[in-house]
Structure formats: structure tokens, C-alpha cells
Chains A and B, each alone.
Chain A
């Protein structure tokens, strides 16, 4: 077992394009879940329409890349409006199920045979981001120190990706401190209170859904550009669960939560992955107990376990303020009647927090 190799793998993933992509999509989710209390479980659907907006425009219709980006963003806005109209008036759990269902419907539809002429069906679309790489100003070669090296191609994606993350984080920072952001947070804390102050809660939720969805679509586009390929099965619901895990790990409702969460999440994921593979390779773990093909499954299991433990013991994550993100009964449109029944429990917790 070579600890340097493991650390190198983990470090490369922590700063690499993948982490930037997930950070960007998680910032969108942070607007939904962290600041507005919308339990959007279909963020992967926004990523899908963003990615396919680019891929279809360029690969199927031969349009330029910038037009693809615009199409992807427009698709995300339309999706948010379509999803929002029926579900934003309902309780948070309805939104959750409707969004995950919508994400699955999108995936199945893009996957379907009749859509093949446009979406490429199960095989997806490839090689549509040539013009992105053509503008790469970084000269060919490999950059980095020690085992932490990236090709000029990766580096270009990383520059754009982390640049977008930085811009989105800054934008979020400013927005949340604006009056608009204060209303958003008040919707999260108590929707009825916000409504009684004359705020159009539905409108604010819709704006939040659109803004976060657009960021999700940007993440999807970056994913498509990074791999130069899209296929519907990349966009399965597990991606959204990853996003939730890293968002909660970093701290939901915190400006820097998604970026920090993404870096730590990918570091840990690849660390475990690489360490397990090395341990199997070196014979520390007998192949009968765990074969290399099981490592992928095991890491999903560990993500699930991490999600359970995080929410049970530190729902505020690393950066979070436990008092701000209570997300208890009463928040995010939980009906009044239910609040009563969980009152005893929540009082007890508040007593501990004080």
C-alpha cells in the first residue's frame, strides 16, 4: 500500500473537474434547500437538461457552443416553472417526490428509442465540446506537483469550473445579504409568517427554484463538456443524493458550504476507493471478502451511511450553524397540525441547543 498514491488520487479528485461540477450543482441546491427550504430531489434533472441543451444543440443541430449554453439555461428555466407550478404550493415532501419523479421521467424520456434521432437514446451524444477545448489558452503539458498533476485539458475545465463556482458563491453571498435573500430565509423558517407580512411566498419560491435550477444546469453543462459525452444513465437519482450529502457535509445554508463540502466529499470518496483497491491489491483484504468490483458499491454504501450519521449527529455540517438550519416541523410549509405533534421533541432539542 502506497499512502502517497492514495493521497494523490484523493487530492486530484478533490480539486479536479468533478468536484467543481458537483460544487456548482450543489450551490443551486443550497439555494433551494439551504436558503428556501425546498426539498428538491430532482436537481439531477436540471443537470440533465443543461447537459443535453449543449449536446443536442451542437451535436444534433450543428449549432455553436454558446447557443447550446443558452438553450440549456432556457430549458432549466422552463423545467423549473413547469415543476414549480404544481408543487410549490404544496408541502415540502410533495415537492421532493414530484421532483424526483420528474427527474426520472426526464431520464427515461431522453433514454427512449423514439427520442434517439435527437438525444442519441441510450448511447447518448459525444464530441460536441471541441470549440471549448479549441479556446484553451493553456499550452499542452502536465501541470502540478508530485502526484497532483493535471493535463492542460483538465486544467482548462478546472479553471472554468472553479471560476464559475467562485462567481456563483460570490453572487450567492451578495444575494443572501440583500432584502431578497432575507425574504428567502424567512420563507424557509416560517412560510406563514412571511406570507402574513405580505410577501408573495409562491413567487419567491419560484425564483429560488429557477435560480438554483439554472446553477444545476450549468453544472450539467460542465459535466457534459468535461467528458465530451452525455448519456441519460449518467443522470440517475443517486447524483442528487451525492449532492445532498456534500451539501450537508459542508453546511447547508452557508455560502461556502457547497464548495467546501464538494472538495472534502471527493477527497474522502477517492481516498476510500483508492485505499480499498490498494488493500485488495496488496492482499490485506482477501479477494473472497471483497472483490475490486465491489468497491464501487461499497463507496455508495458509505455515502449513505455518512448521510445518516451526519443528519443524526451533526445536521448543520462543518460550517453550519445548528440554530439557523433547524428545518424542523413548521419550516418549509409543514402544516400547522403536524407541528403540534412534534412539539415535545423539538422543544427538548432546543433546550439542549441553548
Chain B
């Protein structure tokens, strides 16, 4: 009977500040990391891991007493991760000699990518050195050396997930613009606040350690309340004073800068994951492999999008929102309480942004500037779909997510967001009112 004591190393996102000191600059701290564990789950220290990019060594690390290792990266991109099999302690070896080199590990902007080196016990000499034949099973999400068709399918799934998260966060942005004419640059911070609230409730050392789902519910409530408080405490008084809309736009930039860096002071610059659902085995569904987590994220966002769509189409308040977005004066003279509708729009937008933040933090990681990094993509989504239209924002969000992911089929992954923004500029050139926008003069 073959005894295979194989344990995958765990991806505790342990320790190691990514950026120090000059945390003030908007830097995305990409990191490759992992935990080396033996077959019995005991940590394996003193193993040398080297990271190479484009044939050049980017960094090296030695696993600590807890088996953790971390290599900070200069930029997102594709890297090779090498485990020096010679430094493995006596009695341990790689399950597969070829696994000593994980080639083409893709790191997205801001991602803290965890890679696995499966170890097993055995007296056999580890003969393969680094640079052996590349047979990469990198990470839990991407499959290895796939064919074009399966890569396409995989990226489509990733794009839908990314796109629905963008869509869910941009509905509020679009509705707020539609009802008040405000381009809210601080909308990204509502996303961060949502993710952050869930983090403090779920995973923070001082927090109550709630499970993620109740934490997310509270986060949505907090996001909605913050949105409502901003409307009543800041935007409504400014509108009543008659502040011009360009001034309002710049005020929202200041607000975004303020909130983001207050969050930075409280949260710190270190990206951290939620306490649960971080590592999962992918399940195979035909040509695609998807972790249960990502499947749930996609289904939840699609469900919420559907519910919001139904709400806007069927319910009284939803109709009122669309009426105000369509023509504020007409709605007001038809008896709609515009000020109340705007408040509900902010509550809805804040709650959806918070939910998007939790899901984005779950699918990647929670960082202090996650909302700001998402913000430009939200703008792209909102303009693509047509400013002011909630359904446009949904369609635009999906499109932006798909473009960002599918661009990696042919182009470097570092540019995935650049392509999404490039599409935005292209749309402005040919159809500035967006896909579902009203035919109105915009220039």
C-alpha cells in the first residue's frame, strides 16, 4: 500500500509589512508568499525560495521558524518561483520534483499571491534542481499550462466575477450622478469602508471575530449609513448653498483624499485577508476550475444585480429614483419627494458599494486603497454604460471586468486595468453617451 503523506502548504498570509515608512504614497504592494509545511502540518524552516522575473532574480527569502516566507515584488507581472530543494531538511522532499520551479505565476496589481509547494516525507534524495522542466500548477486559482480554449473560458469566468463586483459598486455612483449631478470621487472610499468594517468584525485582532457573513451584513449597513450621513451632512447642505457642480466634484476629490488616508492611519498599509474562505480547492466544472468562494461571489453579485434591477423597475421607490434621474424637475412637480429619494439613493449606493468592497476584499485582499484602485474602473463602467443609468452601470461594469481579464490573453497582466481605461477613452471617442445612455448633448 502506497503511503502518500502529502500536505499542501498553507497560505497563511503571515507577517511581514509590505511597505514601510513611506506608506503614504499610493503604492501597490505585490507580494509572493506561502507557508512551508511538512506532511504532518509542522512548519518547515530554513528553506530558500527565490523569485525570478524575466530571468532576473527579483528577491529571495528563507522560510522562518513558522514556515512562512514572503518575497516583496517590484510590480505586478509574471514570475517564476524556485524552491531550492537542497535546503529542504532531511527526510522531506517535494511531492513532485518538477514542482521545485513554479513558472509563470501571475501576480495582479496589489495582489498578495500565495503559492504552494507540496511536500512529502521520504528519504529519497531530491535530485531535481531549480530550472527543471516547467510543469506548473501555480496557485489555487489558475490551472496549469492550459490550452487557449480553456484559458479563454477561465478568463471569462474571472472577468464575470471582476465585472459584477465593479457593476455592483458602480450602481451607486451612477444613480448619485443621475439624481444630483454629482460625480462622486469619494465613492471608492465607501467600498473601502465596507471592506474595512467587515475586516474589523471578522479578522482584526481586537475585533469580535464574527463570521464573515454577519460581518458583511453589518458592513452593508455601515456603508449605507455612511452614504446617508455624507448626503445629509455634506452634500445636501452644499447643494442648498448652491455650490457649483465642478466645485462639488473637487470637494469629492478632497473628501476621497481625506477618508482614504484616515483609513490608512487606522488600518495601516499592510494588505490583510479575511479570516475565512481564503484558501480553497478549486472545483472542476467542465473546462473551467473555480473555487467555491469565487462561484459564490459571482452568484451573489449576479443575484444582487438582479434584485436591484427588479427594485428599480417594479417598486415605488425604484421608479421614483429613475424618475428623478430622468428629469428632476418633472419628478418634483409630479409630487416626488426628491430630497428623500436622493437620500435613499445614497443609502442604496453606500450599501451596494460596501457589499462590493467585502466581495472584492474576499476575492483578492483588503487594502487601504482598494476602493481608489477600483474607482477608475467604476468610472469607466459608468461612462461606458451611460452616466446616470443604473442598468448602464451594470452592463458597463461587466464589460470593463471582461475587458480587463480577457486582455491578459494577449497582453501583459500589468496592463489589464490600462486596457479597461483605454476602452473608456475609445467609447468617449465613438459614443460618448455610453451604451444605454440617453441621446442628449454632452458637449
> Are B443 and A297 in contact (CB-based, < 8 A)?
no
Interface centre among A100, A116, A311, A341 (most CB of B within 10 A): A311
Q: B217-260: which residues lie under 8 A (CB-CB) from chain A?
A: 238-247, 249-251, 253-260
A335 with B262, Cβ < 8 A, contacts A86-B425, A121-B75, A238-B257 known = no
A90 with B75, Cβ < 8 A, contacts A233-B25, A301-B262, A333-B443 known = no
Residue of A at shortest CB range from B416? A108
Interchain CA distance A98-B376 in the complex, whole Å: 10
A296 with B257, Cβ < 8 A, contacts A111-B75, A113-B54, A346-B242 known = no
> Are A105 and B412 in contact (CB-based, < 8 A)?
no
Q: Of the candidates B247, B265, B383, B441, which one forms a contact with A294 in the assembled complex, judged by CB atoms under 8 Å apart?
A: B265
Residue of B at shortest CB range from A292? B21
| Residues on A with beta carbons closer than 8 Å to the beta carbon of B238 | 312
> Are A101 and B380 in contact (CB-based, < 8 A)?
yes
A345 with B257, Cβ < 8 A, contacts A86-B429, A101-B379, A333-B443 known = no
Residue of A at shortest CB range from B74? A122
Size bin of chain B's contact surface: 35 or more
Q: Is B337 close to A, CB under 8 A?
A: no
| Residues on A with beta carbons closer than 8 Å to the beta carbon of B262 | 301
Q: Can you list, as one digit per residue, whether each of A79-103 has a CB less than 8 Å from chain B (1) or not (0)?
A: 0000001111111111011101110
> Are A300 and B257 in contact (CB-based, < 8 A)?
yes
Interchain CA distance A41-B249 in the complex, whole Å: 11
Q: How far is the CB of B323 from chain A (nearest CB, A)?
A: 14
Interchain CA distance A303-B258 in the complex, whole Å: 7
Q: Is B26 close to A, CB under 8 A?
A: yes
Interchain CA distance A113-B255 in the complex, whole Å: 34
Q: Of the candidates A94, A237, A241, A341, which one forms a contact with B432 in the assembled complex, judged by CB atoms under 8 Å apart?
A: A94
| Residues on B with beta carbons closer than 8 Å to the beta carbon of A6 | none
Q: Is B22 close to A, CB under 8 A?
A: yes
> Are A329 and B245 in contact (CB-based, < 8 A)?
yes
Q: Is A337 close to B, CB under 8 A?
A: yes
Q: B288-333: which residues lie under 8 A (CB-CB) from chain A?
A: 328-329
Q: Number of A interface residues, CB 8 Å?
A: 79
> Are A98 and B428 in contact (CB-based, < 8 A)?
yes
> Are A93 and B257 in contact (CB-based, < 8 A)?
no
A98 with B75, Cβ < 8 A, contacts A241-B253, A329-B245 known = no
| Residues on B with beta carbons closer than 8 Å to the beta carbon of A306 | 254
Q: Of the candidates B75, B77, B414, B421, which one forms a contact with A104 in the assembled complex, judged by CB atoms under 8 Å apart?
A: B421
| Residues on B with beta carbons closer than 8 Å to the beta carbon of A329 | 244-245
| Residues on A with beta carbons closer than 8 Å to the beta carbon of B260 | 300-301, 304
Q: Of the candidates B241, B242, B261, which one forms a contact with A304 in the assembled complex, judged by CB atoms under 8 Å apart?
A: B261
Q: Is A39 close to B, CB under 8 A?
A: yes
Q: How far is the CB of B144 from chain A (nearest CB, A)?
A: 22
Interchain CA distance A87-B428 in the complex, whole Å: 7
| Residues on B with beta carbons closer than 8 Å to the beta carbon of A307 | 250-251, 253-254, 257-258
Interchain CA distance A347-B242 in the complex, whole Å: 8
Q: How far is the CB of B196 from chain A (nearest CB, A)?
A: 15
Interface centre among B22, B27, B428 (most CB of A within 10 A): B428
Residue of A at shortest CB range from B183? A93
Q: Is B424 close to A, CB under 8 A?
A: yes
| Residues on B with beta carbons closer than 8 Å to the beta carbon of A248 | 250
Residue of B at shortest CB range from A334? B245
Q: Of the candidates A89, A112, A304, which one forms a contact with B254 in the assembled complex, judged by CB atoms under 8 Å apart?
A: A304
> Are A305 and B258 in contact (CB-based, < 8 A)?
yes
Q: B375-426: which residues lie under 8 A (CB-CB) from chain A?
A: 376, 379-380, 383, 412, 414-415, 417-418, 421-422, 424-425
Interchain CA distance A290-B418 in the complex, whole Å: 36
| Residues on A with beta carbons closer than 8 Å to the beta carbon of B27 | 233
Q: Of the candidates B22, B249, B265, B383, which one forms a contact with A298 in the assembled complex, judged by CB atoms under 8 Å apart?
A: B265
A299 with B24, Cβ < 8 A, contacts A86-B425, A108-B418 known = yes
Interchain CA distance A327-B256 in the complex, whole Å: 21
Q: Is B23 close to A, CB under 8 A?
A: yes
> Are B428 and A335 in contact (CB-based, < 8 A)?
no
Q: Is A25 close to B, CB under 8 A?
A: no
Q: How far is the CB of B213 from chain A (nearest CB, A)?
A: 31
Q: Of the candidates A94, A104, A304, A333, which one forms a contact with B418 in the assembled complex, judged by CB atoms under 8 Å apart?
A: A104
> Are B442 and A327 in contact (CB-based, < 8 A)?
no
Interchain CA distance A20-B193 in the complex, whole Å: 36
> Are A98 and B254 in contact (CB-based, < 8 A)?
no
Q: How far is the CB of B382 from chain A (nearest CB, A)?
A: 9
Q: Can you list, as one digit per residue, whether each of A102-141 has a CB less than 8 Å from chain B (1) or not (0)?
A: 1011001101111010000111000000000000000000
Interchain CA distance A90-B255 in the complex, whole Å: 25
Interface centre among B22, B376, B424, B443 (most CB of A within 10 A): B443
> Are A90 and B432 in contact (CB-based, < 8 A)?
yes
Q: Can you list, as one digit per residue, whether each of B65-89 has a CB less than 8 Å from chain A (1) or not (0)?
A: 0000000001101000000000000
Interchain CA distance A116-B247 in the complex, whole Å: 39
> Are B246 and A342 in contact (CB-based, < 8 A)?
no
Interchain CA distance A114-B412 in the complex, whole Å: 8
Q: How far is the CB of B351 from chain A (nearest CB, A)?
A: 24
Q: How far is the CB of B56 from chain A (nearest CB, A)?
A: 10
Q: Can you list, as one digit per residue, whether each of B248-287 has a CB less than 8 Å from chain A (1) or not (0)?
A: 0111011111111110110000000000000000000000
A90 with B442, Cβ < 8 A, contacts A233-B25, A241-B257 known = yes
Interchain CA distance A42-B174 in the complex, whole Å: 22
Q: Is B147 close to A, CB under 8 A?
A: no
Q: A297-331: which residues lie under 8 A (CB-CB) from chain B?
A: 297-308, 310-312, 315, 326-329, 331
| Residues on A with beta carbons closer than 8 Å to the beta carbon of B54 | 113, 116
| Residues on B with beta carbons closer than 8 Å to the beta carbon of A304 | 253-261
> Are B24 and A297 in contact (CB-based, < 8 A)?
yes
Q: Is A196 close to B, CB under 8 A?
A: no
> Are A94 and B443 in contact (CB-based, < 8 A)?
yes
Interchain CA distance A294-B379 in the complex, whole Å: 30
A301 with B261, Cβ < 8 A, contacts A94-B383, A245-B254 known = yes
> Are A94 and B242 in contact (CB-based, < 8 A)?
no
Interchain CA distance A329-B243 in the complex, whole Å: 9
Q: B4-32: which residues lie under 8 A (CB-CB) from chain A?
A: 20-27
Q: How far is the CB of A188 from chain B (nearest CB, A)?
A: 10
Interchain CA distance A326-B53 in the complex, whole Å: 52
A and B contact pairs by CB, cutoff 8 A, 27 listed:
A86-B428, A86-B432, A87-B428, A88-B443, A93-B245, A93-B246, A97-B379, A101-B380, A104-B421, A108-B414, A108-B418, A233-B26, A241-B253, A293-B23, A301-B261, A304-B254, A304-B259, A304-B260, A305-B254, A307-B251, A307-B253, A308-B251, A311-B250, A315-B243, A331-B244, A342-B181, A345-B240
Known pairs A94-B442, A111-B75, A341-B328 / 5 extra A-B pairs, C-beta < 8 Å: A87-B428, A98-B424, A105-B425, A298-B261, A342-B244
Q: Which residues of A contact B (CB under 8 A)?
A: 37, 39, 41, 85-94, 96-98, 100-102, 104-105, 108-109, 111-114, 116, 121-123, 233, 236-238, 241, 244-245, 248, 290, 293-294, 296-308, 310-312, 315, 326-329, 331-335, 337-338, 340-342, 344-349
